[in-house]
Each structure stands twice: as C-alpha cells, then as structure tokens.
Amino acid sequence: MASDTHRSAYKRILLKLSGEALLGARSYGIDPEVLAGYAREIETVAERGVEVAIVIGGGNIFRGVRTAHAGMTRAHADYMGMLATMINAMALQDALEQAGLQTRLQSSIKMEEIAEPFIRRRAIRHLEKGRVVIFGAGTGNPYFTTDTAAALRALEIEADALLKGTRVEGIFSADPETDPNAKMYDEISGDEVIRQDLRVMDITAFTLCRESRLPIMVFDMNKPGNLSHIVDGKRIGTVVHWNEKPGAAPENARERPETKTRSFTEVEP
C-alpha cells in the first residue's frame, strides 16, 4: 500500500455510511453500482496510506425504531436492525476486497463464522497494517443507533475525525429533500446545532463527540471525489466545530481542535 499520509490531513478516519444511501434508485436492498462506487472512493484514500475504519447503518434493509413504532418490541427490533447492518457490512467488505483492499469485519455480536468479535487493540493493529476495518452490529446493544456506534468506535480507535457520508451535501437549516429553501452551512458550532435542533446524529452520539472534541464532517458520499478531497484537507460539506470562533477544518486532527456539527440526515438504528 502506498504511503502518502504526509499529503493527507488525516492519518486515521472513521467513516460513517448511511444504510439508506445504499438504496440508490431502489426502494429496498443494495444497489450494486452505489456499493461499487463507495468501494472506489474508499480505495482511493486507503491506497494513499490513510487508515480507514467504517460503520454502516442498516436502514435500507430494516429500521428498528420505525418497526418498534409499528408495534414490535423495541429491543427485539433493534437486534434485527443490527443484523441488517451486518448484511451491509458483508456486502461492503466484498466490494472492497474486489477492489483490491485487505479488510477485516468485526461484529459487536458474536458471529464467528463471518466476522471477528470487536476487540479494540486488534482493530487498531489491523488499521496499522493497512487493512480497512468494518464495524458491524452497532454497539451490540438495543436503544443505541449506528451513529452512536460510529462515535464510540471513532473514539476507541483514536480516529482523527468522524466523517459522516450521507445523501445530501452537508448540514442544512431544514431537510433539503423536502424544503427547497433549506440553507446549507459550511460550518456550524455544536451549540448552534443544539439550539436549532438540527438532526445529523442522535444526542448520545453527539455528546460523545462533544466531550472528546472529536471533529465531525458531514458530506455527500455519493459525489465522486468528496471523500478524497476531505482527506486532502479541503472544505467539503459541513464542519461541526466545538470552538466559539469558527475555523477551517483541522490540518492535524490528532490535536483534536474544538470543532462540532449536526445536520438533516438519516439517524439510523
């Protein structure tokens, strides 16, 4: 694997992908073209030496919260949602390996035939060896979303930033898919996100990031080149900053500058 980390703004990233984004033009399941496109984008940054970990949702297959509202027991529905994330994780793993990358899939629920159990030190070692690590089954506990799993895993592996790839360009003042007058923010403080009740992550995930000053970038994963541009340090999408004074995306996220964000995107089980 190439070693171009001196040209990158980040050495290690946690990429959170929306399960619903895998739908593409479909109403259910996985669009192979979208999956292959994501694999190409991830390959581009991984081949430059950036260490990539991924958490993916399962909303294209099953949404626990929505099903619970329809009458199913919430904990039972959430466990089913965790299994849905594993289907997506396995599909992404295969796409990445077909693109020539080495991967490891770790699950928060024991599935020894298809995935390693989540072990923090092992995950970090895989990343150091240049393998893309995919974390499936959320946190392994009901009542927690995959956004929370992404924030938790990002902190555990000491990622430089949490990058949330969505179907929209960034954080908006309203849902851009339903409100044509929605305004996009290039950057926004965490306090402002809370004040405006903008929805990019659930409050548990957001609080984890705030307490550790973990930088968050929200961007359109479906636009080719966006992930690579972010890794280059370019301003793409929205930066959530934790500073009172707005600033550019950090050049070295390991210094954990005060940066914070939230947006109108899917909050997944």
* pLDDT tens-place string over residues 118-142: 999 999 999 999 999 999 999 999 9
Cα–Cα distance for residue pair 31/217, rounded to 1 Å:
25
Q: Which residues lie below 8 Å from residue 222, measured CB to CB, with a gap of 6+?
A: 21, 34, 37, 167
Q: Which residue has the higher pLDDT, 64 or 218?
A: 218
**Greater pLDDT, 56 or 167:** 56
Q: What is the DSSP string of 148-216?
A: HHHHHHHHHTT-SEEEEEESSSSEESS-TTT-TTPPEESEEEHHHHHHHT--SS-HHHHHHHHHHT--E
Q: Cα–chain-centroid distance for residue 66?
A: 21
For residue 266, pLDDT over 60 is answered with: no
Give the pLDDT score at 33: 96
**Strand bridging mode 238-241 / 216-220:** antiparallel
Domain boundaries, the chain: 5-255
On average, the pLDDT of the chain sits at: 87
This prediction has a pTM of 0.86
* Class of the CATH-defined domain 5-255: alpha beta
Whole-angstrom Cα distance, residue 258 to residue 250?
Answer: 9
User: Is the pLDDT at 2 greater than 70, yes or no?
Assistant: no
Q: Is the pLDDT of residue 179 over 50?
A: yes
pLDDT at 11: 96
What is the C-alpha to C-alpha distance for residues 224 and 266, in angstroms, rounded to an integer?
A: 20
Report whether pLDDT(250) > 80. Answer: no
pLDDT at 66: 67
Token pair of 202 as six digits:
């659930």
pLDDT digits (tens, 9 = 90+) for 64-108: 566 666 788 999 999 999 999 999 999 999 999 999 999 999 999
Confidence class for position 260, pLDDT limits 50, 70, 90? very low
pLDDT given at position 252: 39
pLDDT at position 52 is 98
Between 2 and 107, residue with greater pLDDT: 107
The pLDDT score that the predictor gives to residue 221 is: 95
Quote the tokens at residue 230. Answer: 């972010």
Name the DSSP class of 50. Answer: -
- pLDDT value for 59: 92
**In the prediction, which pLDDT does 16 show?**
98
- Confidence at residue 199, expressed as pLDDT on a 0 to 100 scale: 81
